[in-house]
């Protein structure tokens, strides 16, 4: 692996000049408010930019300040997050707001060391807030940066292993020690997001092509082999009584506090066996390394409800936080039953 002159005016200047010319105008790039940047960064983890834009704008209308978010109840927060998935991000954002608006008296920390004490804030998010909001030289490495840097360096070490990760972070650290860290980080990130893309990188348009060491960009970045995608099936039921739907509030980690269709009781062996009847409706959704098939059976209302279950009026469903696959399943079941 050859070094490249990452601290040079030529390298930084080429990237920054290119970014100023063609960088995308994104709403979180128009602000230096640390709360807005925190919101955008948590939303952008595992979600595409194009999806995040509308959520981000709606969120800031609903919770314009960190105090507004801290004072909101969890149901409101989960509802505003609904559709983005990975709800722990919303809970962590809410917890961060409570810490900053409460114990820290609305003083937003401006150092990486202080920020990583907050729930759900890692080295990347802390660096993003410090550089984007406070314009201080904190490095950031996300997937886009790791890919672009691994190619610039022709790095053969897996980027998700300690040695490879250390090399990328070292590059990002040296790179950001220049004038205007906010612009420096934004431009490196943009390079990976729009030019040095996963398939068919646009090397002919690359502002730092003359520094790039790789001859085979699509073979990089190297990563440790991932576990294979697994399939699993979840069985739930849909029951309606007097214009109300039976739902279950999730106690588990994945969808904690959200309302979903009740799981089929373990005693419903006929639906679980190999000779099970076909579900009334079925849909699939991905989550982490699983593809889940959600099978739903239309059932007569049960005589009694279990702990955590409750009947909800049809017209109140829009105001309940629900995981997207279950909301879709409820809509499909209502359409099937009543053409609603
Ligand atoms: S020249 Fe190609 S591979 Fe190298 S950094 Fe630019 S876009 Fe990526």
Q: Give the C-alpha distances (Å, rounded to integers) separating 253 from 90, 112, 148, 257.
A: 13, 27, 34, 9
Q: Give the C-alpha distances (Å, rounded to integers) separating 258 from 33, 81, 236, 249, 317.
A: 30, 11, 15, 6, 12
Active site residue 230: no
In 10 A of CB 318, how many CB atoms? Answer: 10
Q: How many residues does the chain have?
A: 340
* Structure confidence at residue 287 (pLDDT): 87
pLDDT tens digit string along 123-139? 999 999 999 999 999 99
Run of H or E residues at 186: helix 181-190
Instruction: Give all domains of the chain, ordered by start, each with its CATH number.
Output: 9-219 (1.10.340.30), 230-338 (3.90.79.10)
* Structure confidence at residue 86 (pLDDT): 87
Three state DSSP letters for 207-232: CCHHHCCCCCHHHCCCCCCCCCCEEE
* Structure confidence at residue 266 (pLDDT): 65
* Structure confidence at residue 154 (pLDDT): 97
Mean pLDDT of 116-122: 95
Average pLDDT, the chain: 93
pLDDT tens digit string along 160-170? 999 999 999 99
In 10 A of CB 252, how many CB atoms? Answer: 7
* Structure confidence at residue 340 (pLDDT): 55
Of the residues 4, 212, 219, 220, which should be mutated to test ligand 1's pocket, given the most ligand atoms within 8 Å of the CB? Answer: 212
* Structure confidence at residue 193 (pLDDT): 97
* Structure confidence at residue 23 (pLDDT): 97
* Structure confidence at residue 271 (pLDDT): 55
Atom 4 (ligand 1) nearest CA: 212
Output the ligand 1 site: residues, CB below 6 A. 148, 151-152, 195-196, 201, 203, 206, 208-209, 212, 214, 217
Look at 122-131, 138-147, 275-284 and tell me which has the smallest mean pLDDT: 275-284
* Structure confidence at residue 245 (pLDDT): 95
Q: Please calculate the CA angle 143-255-271 and round it to the nearest 5 degrees.
A: 115
* Structure confidence at residue 227 (pLDDT): 83
* 25 — pLDDT class (breaks 50, 70, 90): very high
- Extract the tokens encoding 249: 């509030």
* 100 — pLDDT class (breaks 50, 70, 90): very high
* Structure confidence at residue 339 (pLDDT): 60
Q: pTM to 2 decimals?
A: 0.80
Task: For residues 168 and 163, give the distance between their C-alpha atoms in angstroms, rounded to a whole number.
Answer: 9
Instruction: Please check whether residue 16 is in contact with residue 183, taking contact to mean a CB–CB distance below 8 angstroms.
Output: yes
* Structure confidence at residue 277 (pLDDT): 72
Residue 103 has pLDDT above 90, yes or no: no
Task: For residues 256 and 89, give the distance between their C-alpha atoms in angstroms, rounded to a whole number.
Answer: 12
Mean pLDDT of 307-312: 94
Residue 121 has pLDDT above 90, yes or no: yes
Task: For residues 133 and 120, give the distance between their C-alpha atoms in angstroms, rounded to a whole number.
Answer: 18
Task: For residues 161 and 168, give the distance between their C-alpha atoms in angstroms, rounded to a whole number.
Answer: 11
Q: Give 210 Cα–ligand 1 centroid separation in angstroms.
A: 9
Residue 21 has pLDDT above 90, yes or no: yes
* 265 — pLDDT class (breaks 50, 70, 90): confident
The crossing angle, in degrees rounded to 10, of helices 34-44 and 88-101 is 160
Of the residues 145, 188, 192, 196, which should be mutated to test ligand 1's pocket, given the most ligand atoms within 8 Å of the CB? Answer: 196
Task: For residues 52 and 293, give the distance between their C-alpha atoms in angstroms, rounded to a whole number.
Answer: 26
């Amino acid at each position: 692996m050859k070094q490249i002159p990452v601290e040079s005016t030529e390298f930084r200047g080429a990237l920054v000049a290119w970014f100023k010319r063609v960088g995308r105008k994104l709403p979180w790039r128009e602000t230096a408010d640390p709360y807005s940047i925190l919101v955008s960064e948590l939303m952008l983890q595992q979600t595409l930019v194009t999806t995040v834009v509308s959520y981000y704008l709606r969120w800031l209308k609903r919770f314009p300040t960190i105090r507004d978010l801290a004072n909101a109840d969890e149901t409101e927060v989960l509802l505003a997050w609904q559709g983005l998935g990975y709800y722990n991000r919303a809970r962590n954002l809410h917890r961060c707001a409570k810490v900053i608006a409460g114990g820290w008296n609305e003083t937003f920390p401006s150092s990486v060391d202080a920020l990583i004490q907050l729930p759900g804030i890692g080295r990347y998010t802390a660096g993003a807030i410090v550089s984007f909001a406070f314009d201080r030289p904190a490095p950031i490495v996300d997937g886009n940066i790791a890919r672009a840097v691994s190619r610039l360096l022709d790095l053969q070490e897996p980027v998700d292993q300690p040695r490879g990760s250390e090399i990328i972070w070292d590059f990002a650290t040296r790179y950001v020690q220049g004038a205007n860290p906010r612009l420096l980080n934004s431009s490196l990130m943009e390079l990976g997001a729009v030019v040095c893309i996963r398939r068919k990188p646009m090397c002919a348009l690359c502002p730092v092509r003359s520094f790039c060491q790789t001859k085979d960009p699509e073979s990089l970045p190297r990563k440790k082999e991932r576990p294979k995608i697994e399939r699993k099936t979840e069985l739930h039921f849909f029951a309606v009584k007097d214009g109300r739907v039976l739902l279950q509030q999730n106690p588990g980690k994945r969808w904690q506090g959200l309302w979903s269709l009740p799981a089929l009781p373990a005693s419903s062996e006929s639906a679980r066996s190999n000779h099970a009847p076909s579900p009334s409706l079925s849909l699939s959704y991905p989550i982490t390394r699983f593809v889940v098939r959600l099978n739903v059976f239309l059932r007569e209302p049960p005589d009694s409800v279990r702990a955590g279950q409750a009947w909800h009026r049809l017209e109140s469903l829009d105001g309940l936080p629900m995981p997207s696959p279950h909301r879709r399943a409820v809509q499909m079941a209502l359409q099937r039953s009543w053409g609603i």
